[in-house]
């Protein structure tokens, strides 16, 4: 049974957690439940970047800054799934253990179930629950699978891309898509050697994008473990969030979400196992045409 909307709006952790579990497992009636959820204005911060960049530590530090200002924060952390049993270790959450019992914070870890976008397949629907709960800020940390995390831009109002000084070669091969989704670049672990040179090279790479789009993408140095640079980063994120509402980007993001949900709805009756069985039957007969097979569906 789904919890009541009133329970979710009161930010009751058990009610929010139960709603998320039922939605993630597509429990019967979940779509009707979603249609009845309110959608107050939300401020969603996406944190992405390669593995080992210190994203969880950074989220921990940013959460502390938001809580000090009297905010209520909802956090969704996406972890990689095993390719064998589809489970997830969820070990990064150890770094955020001090917040689990905080009355103004809700944290939920999710597996990405092999999704190459770095997000859980039901992330849009799950985020809607936190939006309905009217948290002041929602933070979503992606699994960090490299350059395919661009899906986060379709969900977050502000996307923070976290890197480390040793990622010099990665910057050289970075795809334009990842460059363009970033509203803020963070060079974490900036106490390491060559951090200043890395920041300089990153800013040089961002210069052509600045000339095309007429807005500069901030580059911030942090040492999250030592809380260095966190206040500056948080100020920049909050400033970016103020600009994020009612812009052309906002409507494109909503269109992306709508497109994804429509795609999921229309594909829900397509069963890969059934397709495989049909192909196994037809293929041995010879002259199998994949495109005709699709046209007949």
For residue 269, is it within any domain?
A: no
- Cα separation, 163 vs 185, in Å, equals 8
Give a yes or no: residue 145 inside a domain. yes
* 270 is a domain residue: no
- Per residue, the 3-state secondary structure of 149-216, as one string, reads HHHHHHCCCEEEEEECHHHHHHHHCCCHHHHHHCCEEEECCCCCCCHHHHHHHHHHHHHHHHHHHCCC
Domain-located, residue 292: no
Residue 237: give its domain's CATH number. Answer: 3.40.50.300
What residue numbers bound the domain in which 77 lies? 5-245
How confident is the model at residue 160, as a pLDDT? Answer: 93
**How much is the pTM?**
0.81
Sign (positive or negative) of CA dihedral 11, 29, 154, 163: positive
pLDDT at 148: 44
Please give the tally of structural domains in the chain. Answer: 1
The pLDDT of residue 214:
54
- Two structure tokens written together for 52: 């080992």
Residue 237 in domain = yes
Could you tell me if residue 120 is inside a domain? Answer: yes
Give residue 10's pLDDT.
Answer: 95
Predicted local distance difference test score (pLDDT) of residue 107: 92
Q: Helices in 36-97 by DSSP H: which ranges?
A: 55-68
pLDDT of residue 207: 73
Residue 278 lies in a domain: no
Q: What is the C-alpha to C-alpha distance for residues 138 and 208, in angstroms, rounded to an integer?
A: 31
40 lies in a domain?
yes
User: Over its length of 297 residues, how does the chain's per-residue pLDDT go in tens digits?
Assistant: 899 999 999 999 999 999 999 998 889 999 899 999 998 988 999 998 887 888 989 999 999 999 999 999 999 988 754 443 444 445 545 566 778 789 999 999 887 654 544 466 788 889 999 999 999 999 999 866 444 455 676 778 898 999 898 866 556 555 555 666 788 999 999 999 889 988 988 888 877 655 555 567 899 999 999 999 999 999 999 999 987 655 666 677 678 778 878 888 888 888 889 999 999 999 999 889 999 999 988
Q: What pLDDT does residue 105 have?
A: 95
Our CA angle for 236, 122, 107, nearest 5°, is 55
pLDDT score recorded for residue 86: 43
pLDDT at 243 (0 to 100): 77
**pLDDT given at position 83:** 40
């Amino acid at each position: 049974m789904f919890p009541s909307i009133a329970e979710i709006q009161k930010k009751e952790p058990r009610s929010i957690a139960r709603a998320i579990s039922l939605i993630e497992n597509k429990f019967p009636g979940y779509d009707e439940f979603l249609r009845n959820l309110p959608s107050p204005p939300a401020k969603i911060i996406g944190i992405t970047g390669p593995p080992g960049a210190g994203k969880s530590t950074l989220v921990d530090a940013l959460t502390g800054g938001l809580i000090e200002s009297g905010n209520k924060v909802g956090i969704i952390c996406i972890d990689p799934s095993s390719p064998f049993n589809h489970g997830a270790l969820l070990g990064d959450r150890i770094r955020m253990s001090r917040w689990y019992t905080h009355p103004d914070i809700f944290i939920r870890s999710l597996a990405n179930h092999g999704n190459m976008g770095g997000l859980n397949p039901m992330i849009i629907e799950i985020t809607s629950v936190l939006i309905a709960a009217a948290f002041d800020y929602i933070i979503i940390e992606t699994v960090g699978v490299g350059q395919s995390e661009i899906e986060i831009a379709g969900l977050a109002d502000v996307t923070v891309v976290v890197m480390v000084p040793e990622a010099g070669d990665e910057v050289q091969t970075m795809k334009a898509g990842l460059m363009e989704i970033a509203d803020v670049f963070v060079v974490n672990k900036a106490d390491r050697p060559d951090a200043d040179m890395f920041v300089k090279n990153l800013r040089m790479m961002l210069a052509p994008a600045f000339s095309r789009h007429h807005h500069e993408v901030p580059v911030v140095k942090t040492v999250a473990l030592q809380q260095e640079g966190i206040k500056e980063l948080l100020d920049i994120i909050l400033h970016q969030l103020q600009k994020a509402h009612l812009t052309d980007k906002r409507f494109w993001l909503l269109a992306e979400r709508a497109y994804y949900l429509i795609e999921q709805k229309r594909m829900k009756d397509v069963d890969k196992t059934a397709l495989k069985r049909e192909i196994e039957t037809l293929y041995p007969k010879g002259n199998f045409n994949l495109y005709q097979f699709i046209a007949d569906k």
